[in-house]
Every structure is written in C-alpha cells, then in structure tokens.
A and B are shown apart, each in its own frame.
Chain A
C-alpha cells in the first residue's frame, strides 16, 4: 500500500524557518516525481514545488521562490521542504503528493498533510 506521511509542521513566527518531511513507503520512491501542494484554511489547493525522480529538475511557485527549497533523499525514501522567511500567508496544510509516471502530471497519491501556522 502506498503511504505518504508528512511531518514537521507547527507554529512559527514570521521570518522563521521550518523543515517539512514526507516519508514514503509501499512503492519505489526513486522512480517517482513528487510535489508539495498547500491549502490555506478554508481555501483551495495551491501547488508549491516539484522535484523530479532523479533530482535534476526542480520548480517552485512564484509565491515561494527564493524562500523554499525542495529536496529528496531516495536512499531514505524521503521528500523535504525547507521553508525560510516564513510569512503569515504561508499558513496552510502542506501535502506531499506523488506524480504519476505516465507524464500526464496528475497526483495519484497524497499524504494526510501537516499544518504550518505562521503567527506572532
């Protein structure tokens, strides 16, 4: 069974940092591209960042570019999101999502999410 389990969320002050983790199991993690998607309270889904299976392609939403860094460790079956210079508008549930290998860019499995709250 495919499982994605996020961790690392919490309460942080504006300007602070957090590192989110996503532990993957039940599939060959190194074969899949991964994304982070967030959802502000009561709002819709917003794509945050993408990383290819071999780490050679990375992309960010304009809203987080220069502040967030995505990475992965295929040996540890883990995905990460380093979030710096956090702002109130970064408050959201952050989901890691597995992108299907077909090249059609849909997310076929999602974690349960981890809540990040940025507040003084």
Chain B
C-alpha cells in the first residue's frame, strides 16, 4: 500500500512569492500516475496537474509539477490571492487504487 505524505502542513506566504509543496510516497510510484488537485473551502477538488508535470485544461502556467520515484513537487511560481486553498497529491497503485496525501494548506498573507 502506497502512503503519500505531504509537507508542509500549512504554508503561509505573501502574494507574488513562490510556493513549493512536497508529496513523498512510501515507495516508488509511476510519475504517469501522479496528480495534484486544488480545493477551496466549500468546493469540490479541481484537477491541476496530471502525469506529474502536465497542466490540466485552463490551469494558469504559474502552476507546475515535477518529480519521479518517491518525490513529487507542486510549484506555484507567483502566488495570487485566489491560490489560497488546500492542495492534495494523488497516486494510483494496484493494491489500493487511488491514494491521496493529507493535503497542504496554502495561506496568502
């Protein structure tokens, strides 16, 4: 069973700053199966990144993803106020199908 650990738990930054969110898997996973979602309060999750580094339709280019093996990263290059949300990473594995990380809350000061 793959366990995903996201860090930090909360990230508090100012608008215009760079945010780096980490997702570490308990075992090596395929980068093709790595995704990131954004969830704002009272809303459903929204797909941001799939296949570790591909932006979903309509996602601004300030969002980027990278990683392989056990370590994956979501970077927001220049934070906007509307980026305040919780971000979840997701992986697929054969035993537990879909696994989500615990989330990173991004706060804009």
Interface residues in chain A, defined as those with a beta carbon under 8 Å from any beta carbon in chain B: 35, 37, 44-47, 50, 59, 61, 95, 100, 104-113
Contact A108 B98 (CB under 8 A): no
Contacts of A35 in B (CB 8 A): 98
Q: Are B98 and A47 in contact (CB under 8 A)?
A: yes
CB-CB under 8 A from B44, the residues of chain A are 95, 110-113
- A105 CA to B37 CA, complexed, in Å: 13
B97 contacts A46, C-beta separation under 8 Å: no
What residues of B have a CB within 8 angstroms of the CB of A61 in the complex?
96-97
Q: Which residue of B lies closest to A108 (CB)?
A: B47
Give the A-binding residues of B (Cβ under 8 A): 32-33, 35, 37, 39, 43-47, 50-51, 56, 88, 90, 92, 96-103
- Summarize A's interface: helix, strand, loop or mixed: strand
Q: Which chain A residues border B51 with CB–CB below 8 Å? A: 104, 106
- Choice from A47, A50, A107 contacting B47 with Cβ under 8 Å: A107
> What are 9 A-B interface contacts by the 8 Å CB criterion?
A45-B90, A45-B103, A47-B98, A47-B99, A104-B92, A106-B50, A110-B45, A110-B46, A113-B44
